[in-house]
Amino acid sequence: MAPTLDGGLRIDADSLTDWMILELICADATNLPGPPLYDQISSRMVQNDDWKEFVVPDIVTQFNDQITFVSRAISAAPRDEDHAGSIFISKEDAMTWYGTVNQARLSLEHQHDLSKVDDITTEEDLDDLDSDVRAAVIRNHFYTSIQTLLLEFVI
C-alpha cells in the first residue's frame, strides 16, 4: 500500500490470496455478531420514534452502501493472468473505504476480543493463538494499516 500522487491510496495485490484477504474486508464488515452496528450506535442515543423512523434507515443504508461500494471496487479491479493488480482509492471514496474497514475491525473485535491480544509483537506470539484468532489479528493489523494510510495521506 502506498499513497498516490493525486492524493489517493493504492493497494497492490500479487496473488489470489491477496485478493481473498481484500474480499474479507466486506465479509468481516457484514459479519458483526449481536445487534447490527446501527443498533449498537443508537443504544447510546436518546431513543424515540423519530430516531427509528428517520435516522436508523439512513444509517443502515449508509453502512450497507459502503460495504457494497468496496465489494464492487475489489471485484472490478483489473488483474493480470498471474492475479496481480491494484485497487486505487480516490479522495472522494476514502471515507467510504474507511467506514467499511472500520465496520470490519469492529466485527473482528466483537468476534475475537482482539483488544486482549494486543501484545502481539513477534511471529512466535501469533503461533500461540487459536487459528481463527490468529487470522483475525493479521486481518485487523492489515485493516488498521489501511485506515492509518487513509487518515495520514488521503482524508
CB atoms within 10 A of CB 103: 23
Residue 35 binned pLDDT confidence (cut-offs 50, 70, 90): low
Report yes or no on whether pTM surpasses 0.85.
yes
Residue 46 pLDDT more than 80? no
Mean pLDDT score across all residues of the chain: 89
Contact (Cβ atoms closer than 8 angstroms) between residue 8 and residue 91: yes
**Tell me: the pLDDT tens digits for 72-120?**
999 999 999 999 999 999 999 999 999 999 999 999 998 998 888 767 6
